[in-house]
Amino acid sequence: MKYILCPAFRQVNLEKSPFGNTSHDGTVLNSWKVVWVVLSDDGVEFFKRKADSAPKGMIPLKGAVLTSPCQDFSKRALVFKLSTAKNQDHFFQATHLEERESWVKDIKRAITCLQGGVKFARKSTRRSIRLPDTINLSELCILMRDQENGVKEQKLEKEKRVYNHCFTGGTVVDWLISKDKARNRPEALMLATGLLNEGFLQPAGDVSKQGVEGGTVSTVLDEPNALYYFADSGFFCEGYSSDEDVIVKEEFRGNIVKQGCLLKQGHRRKNWKVRKFILRNDPAYIHYYDPTKGDEYPLGSIHLRGSVITAVEFVPDAKRYDVDGNLFEIITSDETHYFLQAATSEERKEWIKAIHTVSKTGK
């Protein structure tokens, strides 16, 4: 079984949590802490560090109710709530909208499986829509993402929102037919639905998300308003800005290429902390933020033009137990060194590739 394994943010509610205490004056202490979260078939486990062998706690999913979006916190976005059968509330905050939707989708499926007495696992596309054994969805996705002959990613405007690096369901269907991957639209839709259920495609916008949540099997919609994007493609959505908005600083003008959480080594104390990184091109900057405080004010920025980005296996001044592989280094044009750690080797490759491209093409 393939479980979800990615960082998220959990609010420690000390009034109900067995891991905390109340203050001396009886008021409840609430704080946000970054934790490593694993979704299993019957619960959500959370760890202080990815390398920890035992979870700090587990939230049982049997009889649980998930609420998303959660409006309990006026100054926090992307929060969802998991309420257990014993009426204990647990709050999580994702780093971006697509991450939250992915968590919500899979947790809801796990809860539904428990209610039906079946074991949770990611849906098997071949069993649910009967794809032939000769079809390799992974290879098909690689062809679709080809820069020259694949599906063209676009910037599309729908309902006062701008969707970057996405495409319509009809575009996917047209491409599959034009490349002789399908004989007709129903057959192309079957293939596209297979790609969606296996996670190669992700829904963007209300119309496509309704298609995902409307039945037992997620379905790609052959409609101009149904938007999708490739997983890990740098997709992001933004609302319109008012003409009266303050002019954005030059370094924030670039398009967002990639965003997510990494561990960063501090320059003074040399300790490691989780930071949310947002990579922008033209101009080439990567900003990092305290993930518990939002994206309005970055803690710092790295100008990437002329930088060198390499994978490393050793970090000077780092204690052995502080690092757990998947390290890489950014050396700026003024010879400032930044050491970062990704969650997996594949994620490290993706970040290195994205940062390297921006450093060469952005100004």
Judged against a pLDDT cut of 80, whether residue 52 lies above it is answered with: no
346 Cβ contact list (under 8 Å, min separation 6):
none
Cα dihedral 305/311/312/318 (nearest 10): 60
Q: Percentage of the chain with pLDDT > 90?
A: 16
φ/ψ of residue 352, rounded to 5: -60, -45
Judged against a pLDDT cut of 60, whether residue 140 lies above it is answered with: yes
- The pLDDT-based confidence of 362 (bands split at 50, 70, 90) is low
Q: What is the model's pTM?
A: 0.45
Stronger pLDDT, 244 or 98, i.e. the higher one: 98
**Of residues 168, 166, 220, the one with CA closest to residue 195:** 220
Q: What was the pLDDT predicted at 179? A: 93
Residue 340: both structure tokens together: 């970062």
Cα 84-203-253 angle, rounded to 5 deg: 105
Q: What was the pLDDT predicted at 363? A: 61
Stronger pLDDT, 30 or 20, i.e. the higher one: 30
pLDDT in tens, 186-215: 889 989 988 887 778 888 878 887 777 655
Once rounded to an integer, what is the mean pLDDT over residues 48-68? 85
Burial class (CB in 10 A: 0-12, 13-18, 19+), 279: buried
CA distances from 37 to 30, 107, 137, 195, 350 (A): 19, 12, 28, 25, 21
β-partners of residue 163 are 156, 237
3-state helix, strand, coil in the chain (%, to 5): 25, 30, 45
Residue 170: both structure tokens together: 């009809």
Stronger pLDDT, 236 or 23, i.e. the higher one: 236
Region of poorest pLDDT, from 12-16, 92-96, 113-117, 253-257: 12-16
Amino acid present at 229: Y
Once rounded to an integer, what is the mean pLDDT over residues 37-57? 82
φ/ψ of residue 282, rounded to 5: 45, 70
Strands (E), the chain: 4-13, 30-39, 43-47, 57-60, 65-67, 79-83, 89-93, 154-158, 161-168, 201-204, 227-230, 236-239, 255-265, 272-281, 285-289, 300-303, 308-312, 327-331, 337-341
Report the C-alpha gap between 74 and 76 in whole angstroms.
6
Q: Please give the mean pLDDT across all residues of the chain.
A: 76
Q: What was the pLDDT predicted at 74? A: 64
